[in-house]
Structure 1
Amino acid sequence: MRGVLAAALLLAGSSALSARVPAPVPASDLMIRQASPGIEWRWRMAPETATQQALLRSMRTEALGEAAKARRAAAKDLASAQAAGFPFRPYETINDWTLAADTPRLLSLALETWSHTGGAHGNTGFAVRIWDKTARRSIGIDALFTDWPRARKLIEPQYCRMLAEEQRRRRGEPTGGAFDACPSLAEQPILPWAGLGQVASQYRVLLGPYVAGPYSEGSYLVTVPWPDGIETLVKPEYRADLFGPAR
């Protein structure tokens, strides 16, 4: 009887554990690679998303839709070039999602996209995804704050100052051109940044070519600590993620 009871308890414990632990995600779910005569299209996802399977499924579905759209556009352009007797260089797109922060409640991801669609050179773009693990949904940077406009007023001068320093390092003194102005923070991808740490004690603004400088200067990735005074504007449920446990 004791043996039967022990076996039943072991089975029940195993069942409870399997209910709590998500099934392993195949490595192939973190990659998409599609090729056709008109385009080679690739997508890579940060491995940490395997712990958030609802997020991974959603982003993979989005990526497959984008790949299909890109294939149709490339096929149309290829057919037009062939009909006109023009040479056609196959298009190429690479989408690379990397980890920006993995805190107790937040998973912060940055997308760098490189795409070449027949111009003189390819171009780079950025996007972000912030996932609330507890709520199981994507949120914007504004959702971390009780008053995002006030928080942005604290963040923007600091970001502009750091960007200007990097611009001077790359190009020397200001030239008086259009790229000397600080691009509005409201129009840029921005996300919490932890690097290898467990607290997203910084934020990062992602600026592609032509946003803060000419193509020759490349992208600007501006990483800045949260400014003094902003902690009181962070919602209580996110403060430990940005500033660590309360002392």
Structure 2
Amino acid sequence: MRRVAWILLVAMVSATSLAAPAKVERNSKALEFSYEWPAEAAAIPALSKRFRGDLDRAFRRASADARDDQKLAEEQKRDFNPHFYSMNWTTSGQSASLLSLESGLGVFTGGAHPNAVYGALLWDRRLRREIKFGDQFLQPGAFATLTRTAYCKKLDAERLKRREGEKLGGEFDKCPPFSDLAIAPADSDKDGRFDIIRFTASPYTAGPYAEGEYVLELPMTRQLMAAIKPVYRSSYEPQRQ
């Protein structure tokens, strides 16, 4: 089974080498717009088509918002600050069965400061569609059961470090639900199997804007692997210590 997976991975990497990263830029006096995705995603027609649809919709919305703000600035006789929208998808790892992507979206709509939003996408090559991270597990909720305590403990430690031991109180001292995070498997040693789970909390999710995003990692363990469905298990390996 491992040999078959390796052959498929080699074939997939060869196909990826024929693709090129995609980047679309559409700039005007009111808006600076860019949307890009890596060669690994560009090599999958359905995924590339999806991103092109996403960028078209995002561009229409961002353009309309920028024009409206520009018009309002003229009416109010104030300076207009051009908007920007920048979406960047990157590859955090891939196996013969799965492609793991992470996204970083930077936007500015004329307010006090720009905003950033982070996301993740897991593509199932066999099913030819996106799947949720939890779909890989034998039992619903198994992933949270096995990682929630470790994640929250690590987050608390990082927050105390950034805040120099102080607590803020309220929502920013609570552990955000996994549904509010970008969760992506990552391949740290680039061997075609995921050995890390990366959790990214966008600004305002785990702390105030000034603290920025929180990016934390937990190792893939044998316990986690045992909870994954057999069809996905060959895409993972315990993290080497």
TM norm structure 1: 0.83
Cross-structure match for 1:188: 181
Per-residue deviation, 1:53 = 2.2
1:1-247 alignment runs, 5 A limit: 24-25=18-19, 27=21, 30-178=22-170, 179-197=172-190, 198-227=192-221, 229-243=223-237
CA shift, 1:195, in A, is: 3.1
After TM superposition, the structure 1 stretch with the greater mean CA deviation from structure 2, 173-182 or 103-112, is 173-182
Percent of paired sites with the same residue: 27
**Number of residue pairs matched by the alignment:** 223
Residue 107 of structure 1: CA displacement?
A: 0.4
> Which secondary structure does the structure 2 equivalent of 1:175 belong to?
coil
Q: 2-side partners of 1:134 and 1:227: how far apart? A: 24
User: Are 1:37 and 1:75, in contact at CA under 8 Å, matched by a contact in 2?
Assistant: no
Cα offset, 1:24, TM superposition: 4.4
Q: Is the 8 A contact 1:174 1:180 kept in 2?
A: no
CA–CA separation in structure 2 for the residues paired with 1:148 and 1:52: 29
The residue aligned with 1:7 is none
TM-score, normalization by structure 2: 0.85
Q: Which secondary structure state, in structure 2, belongs to the residue aligned with residue 242 of structure 1?
A: coil
Retained in 1: the 8 A contact 2:181–2:202? no
SS in 2 for 1:157: helix
Larger radius of gyration: 1
Across the aligned residues of Structure 1 and Structure 2, the Cα RMSD in angstroms comes to: 2.1
How far apart are 1:180 and its partner, in Å? Answer: 1.9
Give, in angstroms, the shift of residue 151 of structure 1: 2.2
